[in-house]
Amino acid sequence: MKRTATAVRSGAQRLRQFTESVIREQTRMAMEHKAINLAQGFPDFPCPPVLKKLANDALAADWNQYSITWGLPGLRQAIAEKAKRYNGIQADPHSEITVTCGSTEAMMCAFLGLVDPGSEVILFQPFYENYHPDSYLSGARPRYVSLRPPDWSFDETELRRAFGPKTSAIVITTPHNPTGKVFSRAELEVISKLCQKWNVRVFSDEIYEHILYDGARHISPASIPGLEDRTVTINSASKTYAVTGWRVGWAIAAKPLSDAMRKVHDFLTVCAATPLQVATQGALALPASYYRDLAKEYCERRDYLIAGLEDVGFRCFKSQGAYYVMAEAGKFLNKKLKDDTALARHLVSNVGVAAVPGSSFYQQSGKNARNDLLRFCFCKKEETLKEAIGRLKKRMAVAP
Ligand code: GLN
């Protein structure tokens, strides 16, 4: 059937404040130009063989139907034990843990279930791009607090000013995407005081909790006095076990918060993929050595990528955690390549390497917005990183 030219009413109003994901757009461009994708953060190496076996076994054992909406009881039990052991969080697996389709859904459930239209949500900037649409889809207005390089610390006064009677929640990502910052106990205590004063909830994205460098320690906001009952702790199998396509995530929160989030999850997705929930339960039983090796291997990749990028002429901020590096690209900006977006486009189409323009992590019109940064991810095989650096070295020297 032929489409008519008549204007049909399309996109809802609530979509107007944000664009499609720049990260995923870069992935599509990388595929189109056969570029190496150092944009979207997903590994190009296989997940641990034991996970493949767990998933295969789950399918062979006929785990093919919906799970209980809140997640398989065995998986919730395993998450509760891990939260107690690693995060210092006590949670009742029956009423305080909800398994979701990735941490992306968990965060959306937190926003839609707990944030009222007309309220405000505090985001540290640069922010992971999802939180912006999450805020607008829930009808809230984001308030931004800057993380300032080189250490990406925040100014206490600026943070204090962002809180007010309309504040509903603050989003914390630790280790942080895109900067690699790991929030310290002292910083979390400052946040806790303000959250108690203004009765604000914390939405804590901790998906990189095991990817830590140079002795950095992961501290879960929910383990800080004053935040236990007001924090939604979000995590997933994606980054820890190199299975970003499995879409198995979870949210841990006190019962009143979990009840609200479960109402959204129930109608949004019903449940995460059942056989992969079974496999994730098995993954949570991996020994401590798995996590030690994970951090060590990512640390080597970080050092390799940073050294290569600096050789090319980028100035890198050394990440303390997660698998990204923010790089200053001012040296490459000129009349033709005016900003990070133009440079990222040039990189993907002419150099053969995809990165994310830093501006997609900033409020567009904000006074602290930067347009001279690129985010590169290093969750890739050594040979992939080598090839990327090789292309950058060879082709960045040539004027566009
Ligand atoms: N978290 C990853 C990143 O920041 C993947 C983003 C996504 O597409 N969900 O690149």
Cβ contact 328:318 at 8 Å? no
Report the alpha-carbon distance of residue 346 to residue 219 in Å, rounded: 39
Ligand 1 atom closest to Cα of 41? 10
Report the alpha-carbon distance of residue 329 to residue 204 in Å, rounded: 30
The protein residue with its alpha carbon nearest to ligand 1, atom 4, reads 41
What are the backbone angles phi and psi of residue 151, rounded to the nearest 5°?
-100, 0
What are the backbone angles phi and psi of residue 127, rounded to the nearest 5°?
-120, 155
Ligand 1 atom closest to Cα of 21? 8
The protein residue with its alpha carbon nearest to ligand 1, atom 2, reads 41
Rg of the chain over Cα atoms, rounded to whole angstroms, equals: 21
Cβ contact 125:145 at 8 Å? yes
Question: Ligand 1 centre from 24 Cα, in Å?
Answer: 7
Ligand 1 atom closest to Cα of 238? 1
| Ligand 1 pocket, residues with Cβ under 6 angstroms | 21, 23-24, 40-41, 104, 177
Q: Is 125 exposed, middle or buried (0-12, 13-18, 19+ CB in 10 A)?
A: buried
Helix (H, G, I), strand (E, B) or coil at 143: strand
Question: Ligand 1 centre from 41 Cα, in Å?
Answer: 5
Question: Ligand 1 centre from 109 Cα, in Å?
Answer: 18
- Beta pairing, strands 167-173 & 201-205: parallel
The protein residue with its alpha carbon nearest to ligand 1, atom 8, reads 24
Question: Ligand 1 centre from 35 Cα, in Å?
Answer: 17
Amino acid letter for position 177 = N
Ligand 1 atom closest to Cα of 24? 8
What are the backbone angles phi and psi of residue 30, rounded to the nearest 5°?
-60, -40
Q: Which of 124, 125, 126, 209 is nearest to 169 (CA)?
A: 124
Ligand 1 atom closest to Cα of 207? 1
Ligand 1 atom closest to Cα of 356? 10
What pTM was estimated for this model as a whole?
0.96
What lies within 8 Å, CB to CB, of 10 at 6+ separation is none
What pLDDT tens digit does each residue of the chain (400 aa) get?
777 666 667 788 888 888 888 899 999 999 999 999 999 999 999 999 999 999 999 999 999 999 999 999 999 999 999 999 999 999 999 999 999 999 999 999 999 999 999 999 999 999 999 999 999 999 999 999 999 999 999 999 999 999 999 999 999 999 999 999 999 999 999 999 999 999 999 999 999 999 999 999 999 999 999 999 999 999 999 999 999 999 999 999 999 999 999 999 999 999 999 999 999 999 999 999 999 999 999 999 999 999 999 999 999 999 999 999 999 999 999 999 999 999 999 999 999 999 999 999 998 666 667 899 999 999 999 999 999 999 999 998 644 4
Mutate to test the pocket of ligand 1, among 26, 44, 127, 244 (most ligand atoms within 8 A of CB): 244
